[in-house]
Amino acid sequence: QPVSDVKPLPDYAKWKDANSLIVHSANTIETQRGAVGSSVITPLNRLFIRNNVSPPPAGITDNPDAWQINIEGVRKPHTFTLAQLKDMGLQALPMVLQCSGNGRAYFPHKPGGTQWTVGAAGCVIFTGVPIATLVEALGGVQDGMVYMTGTGGEEIPAGLDPNSVRVERSVPLEAMKDAILAWEVNGEPLPLAHGGPLRLIVPGYTGVNNVKYVKQLAFTKAQSPASIQQNSYRFSAVGEKGGPQHESIWEMPPKSWITSPSSPDTSLKAGPVVIGGVAMGGMDSPSKIEVSIDGGKSWQEARFVGPDLGKYAWRQFAFTADLKPGRYNLASRTTNAAGQTQPAERAENNRGYNNNSWQDHMVEINVTS
Ligand code: MSS
Residue 233 CA to ligand 1 center (angstroms) comes to: 12
CB distance 194 to ligand 1 below 6 Å? yes
Residue 353's alpha-carbon distances to 18, 138, 201, in angstroms, are: 26, 36, 20
Beta strands in 108-220 (DSSP E): 121-130, 147-151, 168-172, 180-185, 188-189, 199-201, 216-220
Q: Ligand 1 pocket check: which of 12, 22, 210 to mutate, most ligand atoms within 8 Å of Cβ?
A: 210
CB distance 167 to ligand 1 below 6 Å? yes
CB distance 180 to ligand 1 below 6 Å? no
Options 3.90.420.10, 3.40.30.10, 1.10.10.60, 2.60.120.10; CATH of 3-230:
3.90.420.10
Options 2.60.40.650, 1.10.260.40, 3.40.50.2300, 3.90.25.10; CATH of 255-368:
2.60.40.650
Largest Cα separation within the chain, whole Å, is 71
Distance CA 211, CA 194 (A): 10
Domain spans of the chain, in order of start? 3-230, 255-368
pLDDT tens digits for the chain (369 residues)?
555 567 899 999 999 999 999 999 999 999 999 999 888 999 999 999 999 999 999 999 999 999 999 999 999 999 999 999 999 999 999 999 999 999 999 999 999 999 999 999 999 999 999 999 999 999 999 999 999 999 999 999 999 999 999 999 999 999 999 999 999 999 999 999 999 999 999 999 999 999 999 999 999 999 999 999 999 999 999 999 999 999 999 999 999 999 999 876 667 999 999 999 999 999 999 999 999 999 999 999 999 998 999 999 999 999 999 999 999 999 999 999 999 999 999 999 999 999 999 999 999 999 999
Residues in the chain: 369
Nearest CA to ligand 1 atom 13: 208
Asked whether 341 and 292 are in contact (CB, 8 A), the reply is: no
What's the gap between Cα 82 and its chain centre?
24
Residue 105 CA to ligand 1 center (angstroms) comes to: 19
Asked whether 330 and 297 are in contact (CB, 8 A), the reply is: no
CA atoms within 13 A on the CB side of 49: 33
Nearest CA to ligand 1 atom 9: 208
Nearest CA to ligand 1 atom 24: 49
